[in-house]
Amino acid sequence: MKTTFTLICFFAWLFATPLVAQIPNAGFENWTGGNPDDWLTNNVPTVIAPVTQETPSYSGTYALRGEVMSFAGSPFAPVLASTDMSANGFPVSQTYSAFSFYYKLNVTGTARLEATVAFYDAGGGWVGGGNQNFTGTVSSYALANIPISYIGPNPVECVIIFAIYDTIAPDPPVGNYFIVDALSFSGTSAVHGIAQNLLQAYSFPNPAGDFITLHAGIPLTGLVEISVYDLCGKLVQTSTSPTSNHPEIRLSLAGLPAGVYSVKLSNGTKQWTTKLIRQ
């Protein structure tokens, strides 16, 4: 039962302008029905809850704890995402240079805690982000500071992901955990490259299993190129699909691990993007 995000990339620019953005429920003070407000978890009500409130916190009343639990005889790893069920993140308006948070940790062996932040433009295209892995035992709150860099301008949406995964074994060990609190952005970053103007597609069902349908809104003709990117902007899947004056394409996700992805369709001179959750 592999419930993880395979996200491998690292960005290395850090700028020091003292500017702070509002991340929704950044201190995990507000909870409803056992879940943090404005965040998506893989908790299953009345069945299993790998994501819970934690005290003591770094600041305020609560922090958040994600712990690998045993479910049906297999490890069930925590996943925390700043999205709704349609993979929509929260609004941003600047190219922030760093993502910071305070954390405690107990991640052993070949397991890793992965923290990822990704930014998207108005068309749903990936324009920047940052990523860092953590391992070992950290018993007192420590500060993590993840640099962010950009390939395109005008970010309007952000997605933050925390997840424990194992680099070798199918699943991380039961009992591994992370605790996070006091999330923030700071600074402003230069933009490297120019983002393309993209049209918006949509996908269903979302979250998806092994297959998803992409809808461009207008009829597509000839071959359509389909590119799938992970939260770090890394190309993880490409394919082509013949169309015949129809707006929809069925896409297989069978080779992708669970996670949030950005999809780009290219048909002639037109391009569309959308985001999806692979469950």
More confidently predicted of 153 and 252? 252
For residues 263 and 124, the model is more confident at 263
Residue 76 sits in a domain of what CATH number?
Answer: 2.60.120.890
Rounded to the nearest 5 degrees, what angle is found at the Cα of 79, between the Cα atoms of 21 and 210? 115
Give the domain CATH number at 204.
2.60.40.3080
Domain count across the chain: 2
Instruction: For the full predicted model, state whether its pTM sits above 0.85.
Output: no
How far apart (Å, rounded) are the C-alpha atoms in residues 34 and 145?
Answer: 28
**Which residues span the domain enclosing 213?**
199-278
Output the CA torsion sign for 212, 128, 91, 199: negative
Give the whole-angstrom CA distance, residue 57 versus residue 29: 10
**Residue 154 confidence (pLDDT):** 84
Percent of the chain exceeding pLDDT 90 equals 44
Of 186, 213, 230, the residue that ends a domain is 186
Regarding whether 258 and 149 lie in a shared domain, the answer is: no
Examine residue 192 and state whether it is found in any structural domain, yes or no: no
What does the longest C-alpha to C-alpha distance in the chain come to? 60
127 and 151 belong to one structural domain: yes
Shared domain check, 231 and 160: no
Tell me the average pLDDT of the chain.
84
Is 39 in the same domain as 172? yes
> Worst-scoring range by mean pLDDT, 68-72, 97-101, 178-182, 250-254?
250-254
Would residue 170 count as lying in a domain? yes
> Do 220 and 151 share a structural domain?
no
